[in-house]
Amino acid sequence: MHFGLGLPITDPRLLIDWARRAEACGFDTLALLDRLVHDNPEPLVALSVLAGATSRIRLQTEVLLGPLRASALLAKQVATLDVMSGGRFTLGIGIGVREDDYTTAGVPFTARGRRLDAQLTELRQIWRDGRIGPRPATPAGPPILIGAFAPAALRRVARHGEACCARPLSPGPAG
């Protein structure tokens, strides 16, 4: 069994202490959420700092709002964090439900699912091709967890999960 800790975001100055304590207590993962219009630290930047302050614990976004970002830049940022953390990064990614983040970013809220579908394919392609460096420490890119609740999002998980596997995913015992 693995235990993760979603870090508090109210005071970014405390994150290093929280991360070191979590690692010392045996937690497996540290995670930070992503909101554009909330008073929280930018998760990829903050997790980069925490990568340097820790040595074993995995780092994860919970969940990064992928459609707010350009795929090529996100691929480079994620690969850099993966390299600098020694392969300890997991990309938790999703679309989010808050329209204000999209309005502020100037990104259409209604197209966010389609944007994420394309982005997931683009990220893996960029990491595979090596056209943008650095290459991730994790071959083919770090693990990706897709945040999903709605039926369309669950189909996205199945579609992109299958694309990353060596063999197609099979349905469980219930079919």
Our CA angle for 17, 22, 26, nearest 5°, is 150
Residue 158 is predicted with a pLDDT of 83
CATH 3.40.120.10, applies to 4-164 = no
What pLDDT does residue 162 have?
A: 53
Q: What's residue 175's pLDDT?
A: 37
What's the pLDDT at 150? 81
pLDDT of residue 165: 44
Distance CA 73, CA 77 (A): 6
- List the domain boundaries for the chain: 4-164
Q: Using the structure block, give the residue that is written with the tokens 């090596």.
A: 130
Query: pLDDT value at position 160?
Result: 79
Q: Which residues neighbour 45 within 8 Å (Cβ) at sequence distance 6 or greater?
A: none
Whole-angstrom CA distances from 43 to 61, 64, 89 are 7, 8, 12
Instruction: Give the type of residue at 3.
Output: F
- Weakly modelled stretches of the chain, pLDDT under 50: 165-175
Look up the pTM and report it.
0.89
